[in-house]
């Protein structure tokens, strides 16, 4: 089925085809002088292949075959072909038999069919004068492709010595082992294997992926005209697949097992059969987010090629069948590989190894960030260093777990093509993080004393035994995975995949012990966090037994985690948003340092509070380029010992005022002074001001404590003046202070930012939206912190949109609207500004009559225990005197409105603070 024809594929299938269908080496457009020739080529067995030839501006040139992925066609790799042609290569693409408008049936990269077709295309390149020829009948040619196309590239290179370079991407080594994995082995795998996991033939059927791929190859449009549709015939349950492939899938789907015949069929379509014959330089690119063809598949191919004397470079990238297509760096690597090995230009790309480490930080809400580490060679290959491993003890007693009848309900750790992060910021769908009750056993490491980066496949020994008196078949089918647990209880499935195992269990109760090699992965683990190994009885992506069973599961050794030391090659760890915040924070620190240095240079004593109020704003205005006036003639004064709330709708100019207050923006007019001294870049008085403006900006790869120390060091002031302990008490982050800030929640970063602003216990504290990301208990605690801070003789200015919090926290308020101050006074004065008041009295009806007779009072309302009145300017004291004179006992008198009511009246229709 071609994804663009016939009925609309499912969401999951569409997502899979988007990755499988094309390599997506680059999206660059072709220059105008790239010519494209379309041609239908008939193979020896009568199949018609739809081909395209891309010719660069200058010929003769080396050639590159670009094979498409499963479910795609030559159209899927058009952009890739054009980009390579722009580099100067002759490029040949084609729709494989059974796809696009090519005829024939899908044989899964069979050497007798799809690979034979590719060899015939090399023959055609050998006869073209616009292709460089190394010898008669031997063109200079490379081959690349992703997934289905990547396996084709490896098989072609192993069977046709004319291939001079290849770059297979996210593909398989042994298709039988990829679709029927079994990570349990009788003996531990080699210690120098970073992603070893190739298992015995009788594995556990990966039914989720297999079913989706089979659907992608079925022809759902057989009633439409066209050669490809006609080849399948009407109502064909196997679509475009050959009868042999169809029978193998039917057998596997109904039995859940792989027969010797099916194993042999899949073996013939596996690069493992020819990898030891590949002598051409090979770039292996594999995805770290791939539950179809994991890192173990590329690992096995690399070992087989190098074991026979071949030359290999290995790259792991942050994507795959469950993630993104290769990023720009990978795309450039593929192009550079062919430049050097085919065209003889550029630097030798070598035979190194690189992998991508996620940072845990996202740019905005969608873009994950990372860094790339590089090692001189892939660990364990000839001439390379052995893989380093770290043993981590596991805690937990033997546990009994249940396999339900029929294998339902089943745990869902991933969905084909979507991985295990459903609903995440990356836009994929996230599945259950927890197993159904009673169906898994978990063993945890102690908290890590130091952070580490896992790179490869962890492994652990597991024992499985029958439980006396409980049902149990002859073998257990179990699923192992490794997760990271932080101190707050959140857990993350590392690698997004599980390792299935089929374990024969003795009937006499003796436990069976196996070594489980978990999925290959790359993951940073924070100090203080734990790793957990879970053994479950079900997984939605695999075929489970139907018989109920109860097993006793235990671990018999340490969790062995692989580590590959590397040097940083590239990084995208700090996105633009945090950079802005970091820049603001460092600018504030710099201004403080300049003020401190100037103050010391002048040998003057700190300015006394009596020399002027903590803050005075006079006639402040700011007009930006284009004439936009953000702030207009703003004036207000903040006295010592108060907490002032700066309020206003979005766009009112609050943040602009705060930035001018901190010397970060120069005003167009007016002045700002603190303690009688003007504020500007380098002003000595800035040393007495602590600020948190424009959101928290921290270096995400440093811990919270290190960020605070770095900030204070940037001020140039003595460490003894920092009062770090008080700041840490305010942050209340506990052990999280030792973790990377990149792992913090928004509330944790907010609390750390406020603690940073309070370093040195400044006389004036300026906070912009300090309660963002805090939960109600934290907001209440923050309220008390600010009150106590001001009660000690210091001053606080808070910009906030939480009107109820301002009402409970602040003593004074300045309300801004459209760049101007529309109200200034105590909270009580602002609330009472409209004249509405409530009187608690003993005789509400008589009180209502008295108040109604007062001049100017507009309305009176009797309520339980009192009366409300709209005084309309009549002083509240006068109303109380009138009530008392009439014999009404007044227990209390106060403003009726809330701050929110006053705010809405002041700003009119602009209601968003």
Token digits of residue 10: 């499912």
pLDDT higher than threshold 90 for residue 342: yes
Give the pLDDT of residue 479.
95
Question: For the chain, how long is the longest CA-to-CA vector?
Answer: 121
Query: Of the ranges 138-147, 349-358, 725-734, which is most confident?
Result: 138-147
Question: How would DSSP label each residue in 668-724?
Answer: SEEEEEETTEE--TT-GGGGGEEEE-SS----TTSBHHHHHHHHHHHHT--GGGS-H
pLDDT higher than threshold 80 for residue 301: yes
Rounded distance, CA 789 to CA 723, Å? 14
pLDDT tens per residue across span 636-652: 999 998 999 888 877 78
Give the pLDDT of residue 213.
86
Report how far Cα 225 is from the mean position of its chain's Cα atoms: 44
Span of 397-401, 436-440, 747-751 with lowest mean pLDDT = 747-751
pLDDT higher than threshold 90 for residue 693: no
pLDDT tens per residue across span 247-283: 999 999 999 999 999 999 999 999 999 999 999 999 9
Closest CA to 193 of 303, 54, 308: 303
Give the pLDDT of residue 25.
44
Q: Locate tokens 């790179």: which residue?
A: 455
CB 82 within 8 A of CB 30: yes
Handedness of CA 802, 806, 807, 813 (dihedral sign): negative
Question: How would DSSP label each residue in 311-325?
Answer: -EEEEEES-STTSPP
pLDDT tens per residue across span 878-893: 888 888 888 888 888 7
Rounded distance, CA 536 to CA 409, Å? 12
Give the pLDDT of residue 789.
83
CB 461 within 8 A of CB 514: yes
pLDDT higher than threshold 60 for residue 606: no
Q: Comparing 627 with 755, which gets the higher pLDDT?
A: 755
CB 382 within 8 A of CB 368: no
Span of 46-55, 571-580, 635-644, 678-687 with lowest mean pLDDT = 571-580
Token digits of residue 426: 């990356």
Coil vs helix vs strand at 104: coil
Which run of H or of E encompasses 907? helix 899-907
Return the number of other C-beta atoms located less than 10 Å from residue 887's C-beta. 10
Rounded distance, CA 528 to CA 744, Å? 13
Let me know how long the chain is. 913
Rounded distance, CA 66 to CA 26, Å? 13
What is the rounded average pLDDT of the residues 198-212? Answer: 76
Give the pLDDT of residue 582.
46
Q: Could you tell me the CA-to-CA distances from 107 to 95, 98, 116, 716 in Å, in that order?
A: 14, 9, 11, 70
Coil vs helix vs strand at 528: coil
Give the pLDDT of residue 198.
34
Give the pLDDT of residue 2.
34
Residue 386: how many CA atoms within 13 Å on its side-chain side?
5
Domains assigned to the chain: 11-178+272-375 (3.40.50.1820), 388-568 (2.60.120.260), 576-606+631-668+678-827 (3.40.50.300), 835-896 (3.30.70.100)
Token digits of residue 265: 């069929």
Beta bridge partners of residue 212, listed in sequence order: none
- What is the rounded end-to-end Cα distance, in angstroms, of the chain? 54
φ, ψ dihedrals at 649, nearest 5°: -65, 165
Rounded distance, CA 261 to CA 303, Å? 27
pLDDT higher than threshold 60 for residue 15: no
What's the predicted TM-score (pTM) here?
Answer: 0.65
pLDDT tens per residue across span 763-786: 999 988 887 767 777 787 778 778
Span of 89-93, 613-617, 839-843 with lowest mean pLDDT = 839-843
pLDDT higher than threshold 60 for residue 367: no
Band of pLDDT at residue 369, cut at 50, 70 and 90: low
Write the CB contacts of 591 (distance below 8 Å, at least 6 apart in sequence).
Answer: 662, 663, 664, 681, 682, 683, 686
Mind spelling out the 3-state secondary structure of 765-803? EEEECCCCCCCHHHHHHHHHHHHHHHHCCCEEEEECCCH
Average pLDDT of the chain to the nearest whole number: 81
What is the rounded average pLDDT of the residues 160-166? Answer: 98
């Amino acid at each position: 089925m071609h994804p663009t024809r016939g009925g609309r594929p499912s969401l999951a299938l569409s997502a899979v085809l988007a990755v499988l269908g094309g390599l997506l080496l680059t999206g660059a457009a072709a220059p105008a002088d790239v010519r494209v020739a379309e041609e239908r080529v008939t193979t020896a067995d009568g199949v018609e292949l739809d081909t395209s030839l891309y010719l660069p501006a200058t010929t003769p040139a080396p050639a590159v075959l670009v094979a498409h992925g499963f479910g795609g066609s030559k159209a899927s790799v058009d952009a890739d072909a054009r980009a390579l042609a722009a580099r100067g290569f002759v490029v040949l693409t084609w729709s494989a038999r059974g796809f696009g408008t090519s005829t024939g049936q899908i044989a899964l990269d069979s050497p007798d069919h799809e690979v034979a077709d590719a060899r015939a295309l090399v023959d055609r390149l050998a006869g073209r004068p616009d292709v460089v020829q190394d010898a008669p009948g031997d063109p200079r040619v490379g081959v690349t492709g992703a997934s289905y196309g990547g396996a084709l590239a490896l098989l072609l290179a192993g069977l046709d010595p004319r291939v001079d370079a290849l770059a297979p991407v996210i593909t398989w080594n042994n298709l039988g082992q990829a679709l029927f994995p079994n990570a349990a082995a009788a003996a531990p795998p080699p210690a120098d294997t970073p992603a070893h996991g190739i298992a015995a033939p009788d594995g556990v059927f990966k039914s989720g992926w297999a079913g989706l791929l089979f659907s992608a190859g079925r022809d759902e449009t057989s009633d439409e005209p066209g050669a490809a549709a006609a080849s399948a015939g009407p109502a064909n349950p196997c679509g475009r697949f050959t009868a042999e492939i169809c029978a193998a899938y039917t057998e596997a789907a109904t039995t859940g097992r792989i027969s010797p015949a099916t194993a042999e069929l899949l073996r013939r379509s596996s690069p493992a059969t020819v990898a030891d014959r590949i002598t051409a330089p090979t770039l292996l690119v594999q995805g770290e987010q791939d539950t179809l063809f994991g890192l173990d598949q590329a690992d096995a191919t690399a070992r087989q090629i190098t074991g026979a004397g071949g030359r290999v470079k290995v790259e792991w990238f942050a994507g795959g069948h469950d993630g993104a297509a290769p990023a720009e760096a990978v795309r450039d690597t593929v192009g550079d590989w062919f430049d050097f090995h085919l065209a003889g230009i550029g630097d030798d790309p070598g035979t190194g190894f690189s992998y991508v480490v996620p940072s845990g930080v996202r740019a905005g809400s969608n873009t994950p960030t990372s860094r790339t580490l590089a090692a001189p060679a892939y660990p364990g290959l000839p001439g390379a260093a052995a893989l380093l491993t770290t043993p981590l003890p596991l805690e937990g007693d033997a546990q009994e777990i249940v396999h339900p009848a029929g294998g339902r309900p089943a745990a869902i750790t991933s969905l084909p093509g979507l991985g295990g992060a459903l609903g995440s910021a990356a836009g994929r769908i996230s599945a259950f993080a927890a197993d159904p009750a009673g169906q898994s056993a978990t063993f945890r490491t102690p908290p890590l004393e130091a952070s580490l980066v896992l790179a490869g496949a962890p492994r652990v020994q597991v024992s499985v035994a029958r439980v006396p008196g409980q049902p149990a078949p002859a073998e257990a089918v179990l699923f192992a995975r490794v997760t990271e647990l932080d101190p707050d209880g959140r857990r993350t499935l590392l690698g997004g995949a599980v390792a299935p195992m089929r374990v024969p269990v003795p009937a006499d109760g003796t436990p069976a012990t196996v070594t489980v090699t978990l999925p290959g992965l790359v993951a940073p683990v924070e100090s203080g966090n734990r790793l957990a190994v879970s053994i479950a009885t079900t997984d939605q992506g695999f075929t489970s037994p139907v018989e109920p069973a109860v097993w006793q599961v235990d671990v018999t050794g340490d969790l062995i985690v692989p580590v590959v030391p590397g040097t940083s090659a590239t990084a995208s760890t700090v996105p633009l948003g945090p950079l802005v915040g970091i820049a603001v924070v460092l600018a504030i620190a710099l201004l403080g340092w300049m003020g401190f240095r100037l103050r010391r240079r002048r040998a003057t004593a700190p300015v006394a509070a009596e020399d002027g109020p903590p803050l005075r704003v006079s006639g402040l205005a700011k007009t930006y380029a284009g004439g936009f006036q953000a702030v207009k003639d703003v004036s207000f004064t903040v006295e010592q010992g108060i907490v002032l709330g700066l309020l206003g709708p979005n766009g009112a100019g609050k943040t602009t005022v705060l930035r001018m207050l901190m010397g970060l923006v120069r005003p167009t007019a007016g002045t700002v002074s603190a303690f009688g001294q003007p504020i500007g870049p380098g002003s000595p008085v800035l040393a007495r001001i602590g600020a948190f403006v424009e959101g928290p900006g921290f270096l995400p790869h440093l811990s919270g404590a290190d960020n605070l120390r770095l900030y204070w060091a940037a001020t140039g002031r003595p460490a003894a003046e920092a009062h770090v302990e008080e700041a840490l008490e305010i942050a209340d982050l506990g052990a999280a202070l030792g973790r990377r800030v990149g792992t913090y929640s928004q509330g944790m970063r907010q609390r750390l930012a406020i603690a940073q602003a309070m370093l040195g216990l400044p006389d004036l504290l300026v906070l912009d939206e300090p309660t963002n990301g805090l939960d109600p208990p934290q907001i209440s605690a923050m309220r008390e912190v600010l009150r106590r801070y001001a009660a000690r003789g210091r001053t606080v200015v808070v910009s906030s949109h939480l009107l109820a919090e301002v009402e409970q926290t602040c003593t004074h308020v300045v309300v801004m609207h459209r760049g101007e101050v529309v109200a200034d006074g105590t909270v009580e004065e602002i609330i009472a500004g409209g004249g509405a008041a409530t009187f608690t009295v003993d005789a509400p009806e008589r009180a209502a009559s008295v108040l109604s007779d007062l001049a100017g009072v507009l309305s009176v309302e009797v309520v339980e225990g009192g009366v409300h009145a709209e005084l309309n300017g009549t002083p509240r004291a006068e109303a109380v005197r009138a009530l008392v004179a009439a014999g009404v006992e007044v227990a209390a008198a106060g403003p009726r409105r809330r701050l929110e009511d006053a705010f809405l009246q002041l700003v009119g229709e602009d209601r968003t603070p």
